[in-house]
Amino acid sequence: MLDLKFVRENPEIVKQNIKNKFQDQKLPLVDEVIQLDSQRRASQQEADQLRAERNKLSKQIGALMGQGKKEEAEEVKKKVAADASRLEELSAKETELNEKVTKIMMTIPNIIDPSVPIGKDDTENVEVTKYGEPVVPDFEIPYHTEIMERFNGIDLDSARKVAGNGFYYLMGDIARLHSAVIAYARDFMIDRGFTYCVPPFMIRSNVVTGVMSFAEMDAMMYKIEGEDLYLIGTSEHSMIGKFIDTIIPEEKLPYTLTSYSPCFRKEKGAHGIEERGVYRIHQFEKQEMIVVCKPEDSMMWFDKLWQNTVDLFRSMDIPVRTLECCSGDLADLKVKSFDVEAWSPRQKKYFEVGSCSNLGDAQARRLKIRVDGENGKYFAHTLNNTVVAPPRMLIAFLENNLQADGSVRIPEVLRPYMGGKTELR
């Protein structure tokens, strides 16, 4: 969420940013929120004047009563009563205007970083760097669920009967591999100085609206019926929520945390749910990283975060590339975002396995995460990035480590988590 003062003083910058994100339908909101804010401030000013007048008249009434001028005092009381009625009207108006202003401000997108390429959608994202040499072997690579089935490692049919499409049973060595990747990713991030955390897997609505846009919320979140609770779509939601309504001493920054959680997503929209595979599903597990830092440090941390994911995948011999998200592909709260994509030998192309985002002070402003600095209080910056999400990562892992005889090689870094196994047969 933007600073309303910034919107008021820089309407053309805000409008151009909306145009850069190809959300022209939101352009009228800028003038509307400025007008509503003007009405709200005028209402507040009148209310403040009436309160000051009420205090003055109250003293006057006391003085008149002390002088025995009861009739004059009664006349002044009528004026106080009339002012009280007007104050009630103004209070109700302020509440209504505050709600309208907040709703619009939650809809106006954050100002993107100047370095972000301008483009309409994800087809215009820009490749930054490739890491590792993509290889297409001289033998056929089956679909990832077929590889898993050879090891009796997945049961989609039973999962459909139990929960419907978008769910799965992982079994045996494939299930163990899934857990091994999560455990390795946890230790990898701890070794890089991040504090390990297991967060709540449900959050309240005020945290949901604090960490994401309304559009994301509608497309992703599962609501717990009858309660003010939502299942998390990623641990970033509850991890950033951990700092809600706090004032952090500047010397304690940055907070660097890595968290494990299951994730639950509707996956509502154009992409839909895969019936055969585990690329887009309703439930999965993930290791995440988040940073809460000073504004001047956020871009430095952004580069560190996506590099962590690249390094993790390269340590397992999986070729990856980084892709910068263009303006039209950025969610409303994001300032800048990189996707990390892994190489798929079967498809002969890269596919997304993680996303790194700098959200500036947007989440902090919504959640009131402030920093107490030498020159006063200010809003922190927040960032998040996927360390690894095993269902997608398993696709990349199995395809890149499949051997001609059908066995799957286990990279050295994972062997301690797989009981010393060097391959799956």
pLDDT the model gives residue 1: 85
CA proximity to 29, closest of 106, 86, 93: 106
Q: What residues does each domain of the chain span? A: 4-105, 122-424
pLDDT tens profile 391-407: 899 999 999 999 999 99
Which residues fall within 8 angstroms of residue 132, CB to CB, at 6 or more apart? Answer: 314, 317, 318, 319, 320, 343
DSSP 8-state code for residue 402? B
CA proximity to 351, closest of 338, 342, 361: 342
Going from the C-alpha of 351 to that of each of 299, 346, 347, the distances in angstroms are 25, 11, 9
**CATH no. of 122-424:** 3.30.930.10
Residue 86 pLDDT > 90: no
Stretch (H or E) spanning 385? strand 381-388
Residue 250 pLDDT > 80: yes
Residue 423 pLDDT > 80: yes
Decide if 402 contacts 279 (C-beta within 8 A).
Answer: no
Is the domain defined by 4-105 classed in CATH 1.10.287.40? yes
Backbone φ and ψ of 320, nearest 5°: -140, 170
Identify whether 254 is preceded by a cis peptide bond (ω within 30 of 0): yes
pLDDT tens profile 115-159: 999 999 999 999 999 999 999 999 999 999 999 999 999 999 999
Using pLDDT thresholds of 50, 70 and 90, give the confidence band for residue 271. Answer: low
Centre a 10 Å sphere on the Cβ of residue 145 and count the other Cβ atoms it contains: 19
Going from the C-alpha of 375 to that of each of 54, 372, 378, the distances in angstroms are 37, 8, 9
pTM > 0.85: yes or no: yes
Percent of the chain with pLDDT over 90: 81
| The domains spanning 4-105 and 122-424 adopt the same CATH topology | no
Q: How many residues does the chain have?
A: 425
pLDDT the model gives residue 272: 61
Q: Tell the residue number behind the tokens 């089956």, with chain if given.
A: 142
pLDDT tens profile 35-67: 999 999 998 888 888 777 777 777 777 776 777
Classify the C-alpha dihedral 312-315-319-324 as positive or negative. Answer: positive
Residue 91 pLDDT > 90: no
Using pLDDT thresholds of 50, 70 and 90, give the confidence band for residue 269. Answer: low
